[in-house]
């Protein structure tokens, strides 16, 4: 194990980030490959001529995700992250197999419901937080978010080709195989997480009604509501303003998504290395607001649309990385899974409501109304976020353990101290490594427990 004092990401942290990003990517690839082609496939199965049922089949996944994120997150706090993730991936694979077999739209809906019941996002994000130090957490969240964005862009290119080659059933079977491959990553590649911190369970109401967590949950709700509302109308605008057929939209999406990853890196570096996470976060919200205003004013101009998409994905990627990192820092240490479950649930509701409102506004008032409404929501978010507390300054403390001090319960005693975020006790070295909030840290009490010197 690498020394927790190292400034650079350790080998375990890099492995955790890469493997968990791959798990997210494998699972999301299975979902994104379906979106561009399912409506066309549904026309050829019984019941698929009913667009309402087709919409339910696509949206059923998000509904069960919203229902099960909190239970899965809380279960990961109680029973461990890896068992819950494996169980969720098995459910996702089973739902994919059911959808592959489905003879009609109703069985397709059932398959999508079972797929969505494997709601592992909170558990995976909590595991990422468990396996990384706070100064590197936003980088790991950015790795996960970037993997999702890349997979989304690639799926727009690959889905029509795969559908022509293996059909919808073949794509669903492939998603089942990807879920099984992700289980292999969980069991053989993802590092072993530290044991849960000791102590009584945190009451769920403390997680649900914490003021800072509410700010962040409102943020992820708004971000994904705006995203979904936008993409109800953006494809049609690309066709109308740029004379670009839907089959060629990947020529816009792929370069802007990849370009946004390059542009987001400096922001993540500044946020982490210079402890400017709040400033970078608020700047990204302001950029998102400016982007929605650009869409609002230039929705009929192709260049404005492409520029707006690039800026949108820069802001989106920075916020998508920052929000779960902030949640994991603010949430009680023994309730990260529950807090991230609430976070992912509000995200899912944002996606659902964004699609519904985007469709309603776009149909009755036009795309400008969609962007105006999105700008209004982001402006409200900016006001809510402006009052957020800066994340606490977390530093490393090394304490020597005096010979003769029993180490069996030492980790629990240190973890129970106010301000302690992470504890690693290495008996063979006679050292305890801690990550602590300086505002709450009691150095004298820690020395009493270890009988050693800093």
Query: What one-character-per-residue DSSP string does 364-389 give?
Result: HT-HHHHHHHHHHHHHHHHHHHHTPP
Q: Is 264 contained in some domain?
A: yes
- Tell me how far apart the alpha carbons of residues 371 and 296 are, in angstroms, rounded to a whole number: 5
Establish if 90 belongs to a structural domain.
Answer: yes
Q: Are 38 and 79 in a shared domain?
A: yes
What's the mean pLDDT when you consider all of the chain? 82
Residue 319 shares a structural domain with residue 308: yes
Q: 293 and 351 share a domain?
A: yes
Residue 216 lies in a domain: yes
Distance CA 220, CA 342 (A): 11
19 and 52, same domain (yes or no): yes
Q: State whether 113 and 229 are in the same domain.
A: no
pLDDT given at position 3: 45
Is 398 found in the same domain as 386?
A: no
Rounded Cα–Cα distance for residues 88 and 27 (Å): 11
Beta-bridged to residue 394, according to DSSP, are: 437
Between CA 45 and CA 79 the distance in angstroms is 41
pLDDT for residue 426: 77
Q: Which of 247, 232, 188 is nearest to 364 (CA)?
A: 232
Instruction: Give me the domain span that covers residue 107.
Output: 7-144+154-192
Please give the backbone phi and psi of residue 37, each rounded to the nearest 5 degrees, phi first.
Answer: -125, -10
What is the C-alpha to C-alpha distance for residues 26 and 18, in angstroms, rounded to an integer?
A: 12
Report pTM: 0.73
Q: Are residues 270 and 367 both part of a single domain? A: yes
For residue 132, tell me if it sits in a domain: yes
Place of tokens 């607001």: 289
**Is 316 in contact with 227 (CB distance < 8 Å)?**
yes
Classified as helix, coil or strand, 245 is coil
Measured between alpha carbons, how far is residue 370 from residues 298, 363, 431 in Å? 13, 10, 57
Residues 320 and 415 in one domain: no
3-class secondary structure, 320: helix
Let me know: does 171 contact 29? Beta carbons within 8 Å: no
Give 20's contacts (C-beta < 8 A, 6+ positions apart). 124, 127, 128, 131, 140, 143, 144, 190
Check which CATH number belongs to the domain holding 441 and give it.
Answer: 3.30.70.100
The two beta strands, 394-400 and 420-426, are unpaired
Going 111 to 112 to 115 to 119, the CA torsion angle's sign is: negative
Identify whether residues 222 and 296 lie together within a single domain.
yes
Residue 7: predicted pLDDT: 59
Rounded distance between C-alpha atoms, residue 334 and residue 74, angstroms? 10
Tokens, residue 184: 């292999």
Q: Are residues 382 and 436 both part of a single domain? A: no
Query: What's the pLDDT score for residue 250?
Result: 75
Residue 199 lies in a domain: no
How many domains does the structure of the chain reveal? 3
What local confidence, expressed as pLDDT, does residue 454 receive? 45
Q: Which parts of the chain have pLDDT scores under 50? A: 1-6, 454
The candidate with the shortest Cα–Cα distance to 268, out of 364, 177, 137, is: 137
Residue partners of 144: CB distance under 8 A and separation at least 6 = 17, 20, 21, 24, 124, 125, 128, 321
Phi–psi pair at 256, nearest 5 degrees: -70, -35
Query: Closest Cα to residue 81, out of 128, 47, 39, 48?
Result: 128
């Amino acid at each position: 194990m690498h020394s927790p004092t190292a400034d650079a990401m350790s080998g375990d942290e890099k492995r955790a980030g890469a493997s968990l990003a791959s798990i997210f990517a494998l699972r999301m690839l299975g979902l994104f490959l379906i979106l561009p082609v399912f409506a066309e496939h549904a026309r050829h199965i019984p019941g698929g001529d009913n667009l309402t049922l087709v919409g339910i089949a696509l949206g059923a996944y998000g509904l069960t995700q919203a229902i099960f994120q909190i239970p899965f997150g809380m279960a990961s706090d109680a029973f461990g992250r890896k068992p819950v993730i494996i169980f969720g991936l098995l459910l996702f694979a089973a739902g994919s197999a059911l959808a592959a077999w489905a003879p009609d739209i109703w069985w397709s809906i059932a398959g999508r419901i079972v797929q969505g019941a494997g709601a592992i996002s909170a558990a995976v994000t909590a595991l990422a937080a468990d396996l990384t130090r706070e100064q590197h957490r936003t980088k790991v969240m950015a790795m996960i978010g970037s993997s999702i964005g890349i997979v989304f862009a690639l799926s727009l290119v690959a889905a029509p080709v795969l559908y022509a080659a293996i059909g919808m059933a073949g794509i669903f079977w492939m998603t089942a195989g990807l879920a099984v491959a992700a289980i292999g990553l969980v069991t053989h590649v993802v590092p072993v997480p530290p044991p849960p911190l000791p102590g009584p369970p945190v009451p769920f109401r403390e997680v649900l009604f914490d003021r800072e967590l509410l700010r962040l949950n409102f943020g992820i709700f708004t971000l994904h509501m705006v995203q979904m509302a936008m993409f109800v109308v953006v494809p049609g605008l690309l066709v109308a303003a740029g004379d670009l057929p839907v089959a060629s939209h990947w020529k816009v999406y792929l370069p802007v998504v990849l370009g946004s990853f390059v542009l987001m890196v400096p922001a993540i570096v500044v946020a982490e290395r210079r402890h400017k996470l709040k400033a970078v976060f608020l700047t990204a919200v302001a950029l998102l607001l400016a982007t929605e205003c650009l869409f609002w004013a230039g929705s009929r101009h192709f260049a404005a649309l492409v520029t707006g998409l690039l800026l949108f994905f820069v802001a989106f990627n920075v916020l998508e990385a920052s929000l779960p990192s902030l949640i994991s820092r603010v949430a009680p240490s023994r309730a990260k899974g529950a807090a991230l479950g609430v976070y992912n649930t509000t995200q899912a509701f944002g996606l659902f409501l964004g699609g519904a409102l985007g469709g309603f506004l776009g149909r009755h008032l036009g795309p400008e109304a969609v962007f105006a409404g999105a700008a209004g929501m982001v402006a409200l978010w900016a006001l809510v976020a402006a009052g957020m507390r800066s994340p606490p300054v977390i530093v490393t403390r090394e304490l020597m353990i005096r010979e003769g001090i029993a180490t069996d319960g030492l980790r629990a005693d240190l973890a129970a101290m106010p301000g302690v975020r992470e504890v690693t006790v290495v008996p063979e070295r006679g050292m305890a490594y801690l990550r602590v909030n300086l505002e709450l840290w009691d150095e004298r009490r820690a020395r009493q427990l270890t009988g050693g010197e800093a």
